[in-house]
Amino acid sequence: MVKQILFAVALLITLAVFAWTMRRLFFNFKFTKKLPLDNIPKRIRVTLEVAIGQTKIFRHPVMGLLHALVFWGFLVILAGSVEMVIDGLFGTERVLGFLGPVYDFLFAAGDIFAAIILVSILVFLFRRLFMKVKRFYGPEMKPVSKADANLALSFILLLMVTLLGMNTFYLLEMASHNEALTGVYPVSILLAGLFAGLSPEVIHFWHEFNWWGHILLIFVFANILPYSKHFHVFMSVPNVFVSRISPLGYVENMESITKEVKMMLDPQAAFAASTEVPPKFGVSDAEDTSWVNYMNALSCTECGRCTAVCPANITGKLLSPRKIMMDLRARMKEKGPGLHKEGLIFNDGKSLIGDYISEEELWACTMCNACAQECPVNIHQPSLILDMRRYLVLEKSAAPAGLNTAFTNIENNGAPWQFSPQDRLKWADELYINSTE
């Protein structure tokens, strides 16, 4: 009974802290722009393919496979975590055992995946600590980012060690009492041979130690994740579901601009025009972004795959698509508390453009969509970059000189070239053209 009370208290604290954190984070969505979702069947298909199937990370086959195995392993091991919560609350032991063969399959797979994940995490830690993988570095990757990654990987490593330890000493404890096993544990039964000869008391202690260690690590890890880049553990699947499903090169029109153009083409519409004050064009700060943009920022894994394939970054320009998403997340974190208190009228004298992202970064983007193609969680960085460019052009008239010239020519001549439409065929004046043919 004491164990159940202690467990219930730990669970309540975990849920309360997690709920408080989630409320603070997700309340920020209130200040972002609305964006409707359509084509739900296609979204489900993309989610199964990209989020569950992990198809986009296999461009690097070896590391992609290891990452996919870690993800799939967590999905399988989740059943064991649910069982532990039920056992902790009600004082039961392996309560889902009534599932029979299904239970045996799930927990055998979980035991195997625990070993696979443990080895994979050791590989990931080795790469981060001892190999200079270029995409793990960059001006935006501060020491805290590296420490954050190492801390999360260490937590996962300990989770797998305690899970295998719990299963191993469960096998030994059942054997010491001549009781029937619930479930199949192909890896742990091999490890159990290493601890043969221990007394029942010692075996029970280590079983309890690993049981409590594993579940408490889950509780602590769950509340650390929202403050970590590994928040994508929670956010990646829903982010893929809400991600952009139109072709990568498709550019969304601005509704307000489309409306103005239609009014210009229809003189009668001018008399029926709304007196509504037009909204700000584009994005200058965090609250101007859509809720999908903000969700993208929360889901960013900081893996650097986007920046590694960005042609602007590769050629030495300032742009890093990863930094764009990290900056949006950081800016909303900074401005969020003020928005909560004062609403959209809050102004701290800073903005996303200028204080976080420079104009040089934005104009370095070639809109090639390589970053969006590469992102394993379907973040679409170019749409955010384009919206910030639109703000610079439409609100600040701050386009580069070459673009301003082209804009002026289009306005005056109907084309980007600096000569009259009547002169467009002068290049052919000296050519022999037989008009009768």
Q: What is the mean pLDDT of residues 119-144?
A: 92
Q: What is the mean pLDDT of residues 131-144?
A: 89
Q: What is the mean pLDDT of residues 300-304?
A: 92
Tens of pLDDT, residue by residue over 82-115, are: 999 999 999 898 999 999 999 999 999 999 999 9
Tens of pLDDT, residue by residue over 347-388, are: 999 999 999 999 999 999 999 999 999 999 999 999 999 999
Which domain CATH number covers 393?
1.10.1060
Token pair in block for residue 348 = 């701290």
Q: Are residues 150 and 289 in the same domain?
A: no
Domains identified in the chain, total number: 3
In a domain, 233, yes or no: yes
Of 161, 182, 394, 139, nearest to 282 (Cα)?
394
Does the pLDDT at position 264 exceed 80? no
In a domain, 250, yes or no: no
Q: Are residues 297 and 344 in the same domain?
A: yes
- Name every residue whose Cβ is closer than 8 Å to that of residue 77 and which is 6 or more positions away in sequence: 110, 113, 114, 117, 163
Rg (Cα) of the chain, in Å, rounded? 28
Alpha carbons 432 and 26: distance in angstroms, whole number = 69
Q: Are residues 47 and 19 in the same domain?
A: yes
Burial 165-189 (b: 16+ CB within 10 A, else e): bbbbbbbbbbebeeeeebbbbebbe
Average pLDDT along the chain: 91
Confidence category of residue 428, pLDDT binned at 50, 70, 90? confident
Q: Are 332 and 286 in contact (CB under 8 A)?
A: yes
pTM of the model: 0.87
Which domain CATH number covers 230?
1.20.950
Q: Are 238 and 296 in contact (CB under 8 A)?
A: no
Does the pLDDT at position 18 exceed 90? yes
Q: Are residues 395 and 407 in the same domain?
A: no
Q: Are residues 420 and 437 in the same domain?
A: yes
- Domain around 76: 2-238
User: Helices 321-342 and 381-394: crossing angle, nearest 10°?
Assistant: 70
Q: Are residues 350 and 292 in the same domain?
A: yes
Tens of pLDDT, residue by residue over 28-82, are: 999 999 999 999 999 999 999 999 999 999 988 999 999 999 999 999 999 999 9
Q: Are residues 103 and 123 in the same domain?
A: yes
Confidence category of residue 274, pLDDT binned at 50, 70, 90? low
- Is the sign of the CA dihedral 410, 416, 419, 424 positive or negative? negative
Q: Are residues 134 and 77 in the same domain?
A: yes
Q: Are residues 296 and 429 in the same domain?
A: no
